[in-house]
Amino acid sequence: MNEEDRRFAVAAVQMVSGFAVEANLERADALIARAAAGGARLVALPEYFCLMGRRDTDKIDAAERPGRGPIQEFLAAQARRHGIWLLGGTLPLQSPDAGRIYNACLVFGPDGEVCMRYDKIHLFGFRREAESYDESATIRPGENAPPVFESPFGRVGLGICYDLRFPEFFRAQGDVRLMVLPAAFTYTTGSVHWEVLLRARAIENQCYVLASAQGGKHESGRRTWGHSMLIDPWGEILECLPEGEGVVAGVLEARRLEQVRESLPALRHRVM
């Protein structure tokens, strides 16, 4: 790893996406440009960055075929234009089920080519009083192997939103130096659980965690928690954006990661 890669700039984009795909892509364009202008070499968009619809079924109508469609073309062009690693939040891809889509995260290299695809495995279900969600009604769970790809900083692991609650999912990814989590956490669950779970994943895996979130009041009336953040391997929050659209940026330090792992070699102490 050369000196530049030992200090690797990253950014999480926070959005408050709405009903119109084209408008959401325009906002993402501006925010990606801001992150890249700030020096970020890896940029992560939030879950559902391209569409937060009136109804859960709206994403079925917007679903694209793998490798074809305006959303995928947009992401590829952004990665090429800025010469960055781009984690495309999530977008709806067609599945074998007529009434369900894959909630997919595509990772693009600086050449604009897809280097990894992950279809969300854990599907959120929640019911309390008048608030309820059932992702399995419109999303088909993925069947991917643990989602990991190689970056100049080292191995990067990936999860999407509800995956955050399953520590064994991330442990199965092996020794990663960065975990990235696009999300659209609800305000209700996020206000209590989001930061705790993100910091736990960083601490127990002794790696950086970059979380890119939806954060605000959407056109549908839904409210998401936001608090996109970058966390270091000791569990310290380096940067956070509580609400509204914007960019959370920071630099991953290889030396910092090595110091944490040397001083508290928990990963070597594992017996299971």
Which tens digits make up the pLDDT trace of 99-124?
999 999 999 999 999 999 999 999 99
- Lowest-confidence range among 17-31, 126-140, 240-254? 126-140
Residue 76 lies in a domain: yes
Residue 241 and residue 232: Cα distance in Å, rounded? 16
Structure confidence at residue 97 (pLDDT)? 95
CATH code of the domain covering residue 108 = 3.60.110.10
Strand intervals (E) in the chain: 7-14, 42-44, 85-87, 91-94, 101-108, 114-119, 125-128, 131-134, 148-151, 154-158, 178-183, 208-213, 228-231, 237-241, 246-253
Please give the Cα distance from 181 to 162 (Å, whole number).
Answer: 10
Confidence of residue 157 (pLDDT cuts 50, 70, 90): very high
The reply to whether 1 falls in a domain is no
Number of domains into which the chain is organized: 1
Which two structure tokens, joined as six digits, stand for 226? 């936001």
**45 in a domain, yes or no?**
yes
User: What rounded mean pLDDT belongs to the chain?
Assistant: 97
Structure tokens given for 139: 């999303």
In-domain check, residue 27:
yes
Domain hosting 219: range is 7-269
Whole-prediction pTM = 0.97
CA–CA distance, 261 with 195 (Å, rounded to integer): 22
Evaluate if residue 211 carries a pLDDT over 80.
Answer: yes
Q: Is 11 helix (H, G, I), strand (E, B) or coil?
A: strand
- 151 within domain boundaries: yes
Q: Which residues are catalytic?
A: 47, 120, 161
217 found inside a domain: yes
Q: Does residue 150 belong to any structural domain of this protein? A: yes
Q: At 93, which amino acid appears?
A: L
Q: Is the pLDDT of residue 81 over 80?
A: yes
The band of 4, judged by pLDDT with boundaries at 50, 70 and 90, is confident
pLDDT in tens, 227-266: 999 999 999 999 999 999 999 999 999 999 999 999 999 9
Does the structure show a pLDDT above 90 at 145? Answer: no
Per-residue pLDDT of 32-78, as tens digits, reads 999 999 999 999 999 999 999 999 999 999 999 999 999 999 999 99
In a domain, residue 2? The reply is no
Q: How confident is the model at residue 216 (pLDDT cuts 50, 70, 90)?
A: very high
Whether residue 18 has pLDDT greater than 90: yes
AA identity, residue 208: Y
